[in-house]
Amino acid sequence: MCGIFGIITDREQPLGPILIDAARRLSYRGYDSVGCATLHADRTIDLRKDVGKVDDVAARLDFAAMTGRRGIVQLRWATFGVPSQINAQPHLDSAGEMVGAHNGNVVNNVELRQQFSAEGMIVRSMNDGESCVHAVERHLRRGCDMVEAIRRAYDDLEGDYAFVIGRADDDRLYAIKKSSGLVVGLADGATCISSDLPSILPLTRRIMRVNDGEIVILHPDRVELIRVADGEPIAREAEEIVESMAAAQKGGYAHFMLKEIHEQPQVARELLHLLNASAQVAPFLDRLANARQLYLIGCGTSYHACLLGAVYLAQLAGRPAIPILAPQFIPQGLPTVGPDDVGVFVSQSGETKDVLNALYAARQRGMTVLSLVNVIGSTLMKESEIALPMACGYEISVPATKTFTNQVLAFLYLALRLGKHATAELARLPDLIQETLTAAEPQVNAIAPELAAWDDLYCLGYGATYAIALEGALKLKEITYAHCEGMLSTEFKHGPLSAVREGYPVIFVSGPDDVPLLVSGINETACRGGHTIAIGEDDDRLRANAQTLIVLPSSGPLLSPILAVLPLQLLSYQLSVARGYDPDFPRNLSKTLTVD
């Protein structure tokens, strides 16, 4: 979840303060390093970058003193290469005469770096942002002009990215977009470009949106758009932004929760890139394989990811794992663990006190501490022998959504690898998530008004969807304030069934292999007057028996549980809004629970 910003002005001036401000506005995306480059009239480039928070790095490297006519700032969130000064962006070309930074992932980065070195270029880092610079350099060396070099680089660089680049002996900035956000700002005496709108709005409200496959040439007083496909210019009118800064930060969505739900295809894609490239995965798998006892430890939503992770590890790798709530690990797990045992601690924030308590107790007994954690630099990340980052960027809304999906995806990936299965099938997941969100939204909207009137409901699942039912129920109660209980579907008849009366909503989450069992529960509920809502792949048995079916795209038993959580997230959101609450900031709760 990197962020980029570039600016070109009509005169040499202090650019540091503008770049620092832009970096602060990009920082909500999540990052581990920050860097600034300015290009001067005397054809020199000033590049300063390091690992750390914007304000710390800016103070340490004195960004405020940076001057020039053109400037670039980038926040990096490590995917290719560890967080380090050398991997931080922007990057220089071989001769130090061109500088650029990117946002996104170049998936053929490893192969390209080898090619660039073989072609005599100086490759200094592991980072794919540097590959964007060398990809342009390669074609300049072959005699292309800058626009032609960028057009050809676009074909060489596979993946989803946007980058901004400038040459010392040129007086423009250039940018390109391929499936990663990019927007232009047109101010008085300056134009700028950024991966997102909020970093532009303090400078101007006149903007121009950039589409995939377009090159932007920035001049101080205008921009040119060029189509990559044929090199032809594109005419586009500027537009005036009327929305507030707060609305812009929500990316056009009414709430952060909805924005974060819709970010799931992208963050899943980013996590897969990260896991495929990570040097940490092999030692992580080695610890899992050799553990005497394996515990998966978390709280709330992160615990639900552990529940599903344990199912995947058992089914795909034959690896038993014990999912456990972090505070319960202390009385129940701790007495039997020692140096041969491994705990995978799962946390979005990496700061949850219940999780850290369990971690410190486990370490005292010599247990190996691994983690799946979203917030880079968090205590959990620092305290872990190996931490796999979840690549979600900041999750602002209190209800966890995108981080759950990526935690589960990480477990699925690890289980497949541990069981020596191919992971290629996972590449379908981002598109399937998108398809599910698109299809589920109207279906959820159709039932939301009726369900919003109920203060009690149940959410049931079985096998892999048991964890999804618990997660759906947590989401529903967290932001609608209704009582919603998640349960193994087979347990419903052992007591809770007595609560069912006319219209009582009971949601059944069904994996493709569990339909017959779920259908029994559906009928037991329906014949007592309950409103049965099934979430599952299209199936005649579900259609025939459930009153309402929310259809998931066909994806099979491994991916279907991940897709099933999406309608539940959307339903929770819709019910929260319908009941007049703010889903982003539910009462009595905080995003990070640093208390016992």
- Residues in touch with ligand M6R (CB under 6 A): 299-302, 347-349, 352, 355, 398-400, 474, 478, 592-593
Give just the sign of the alpha carbon dihedral 57, 61, 67, 70.
Answer: negative
Which residue lies nearest ligand M6R, judged by its C-beta?
300
- Residue 576 CB, shortest distance to ligand M6R, in Å, is 12
Rounded least distance, CB 361 to ligand M6R, Å: 16
The nearer residue to ligand M6R, 175 or 474, going by C-beta atoms, is 474
Distances (CA, A) of 24 to 20, 47, 121, 199, 591: 6, 18, 33, 8, 21
**CB nearer to ligand M6R: pick between 349 and 532:** 349
Q: How far is the CB of 125 from ligand M6R (least distance, A)?
A: 31
Can you tell me whether residue 168 is helix, strand or coil?
Answer: coil
Quote the Cα angle for 132-133-134, to 5°: 95
Cβ 300 to ligand M6R shortest distance, Å: 2
Given 53, 144, 353, 591, the catalytic residue: 591
User: How many other C-beta atoms can be found within 10 angstroms of the C-beta atom of residue 171?
Assistant: 13
Query: Which of 278, 592 has the CB closer to ligand M6R?
Result: 592
Residue placing its CB nearer to ligand M6R in the complex, 128 or 395: 395
Length of the chain: 596
Residue 259 among the catalytic residues = no
State the sign of the Cα–Cα–Cα–Cα dihedral 510, 567, 405, 489. negative
State CA 402 to chain mean position distance: 6
Nearer to ligand M6R, 191 or 352 (CB): 352
**CA–CA separation, 403 vs 397, rounded Å?**
11
**Tokens encoding 219:** 């001049």
Angle (nearest 5°) at CA 89 between 87 and 92? 95
Compute the least distance from the CB of residue 486 to ligand M6R, in Å: 12
Closest CB to ligand M6R among residues 129, 461: 461
Q: Where are the beta strands (DSSP E) in 394-522?
A: 456-461, 483-488, 505-509
* Active site (annotated) includes residue 591: yes
Rounded to a whole number of angstroms, the minimum distance from the CB of residue 351 to ligand M6R is 7
Helix (H) or strand (E) holding 439: helix 429-451
**Three-state secondary structure string covering 507-570:** EEECCCCCHHHHHHHHHHHHCCCCEEEEEEECCHHHHHHCCEEEEECCCCCCCHHHHHHHHHHH
3-state DSSP assignment of residue 183: strand
Q: Which residues are catalytic?
A: 2, 591
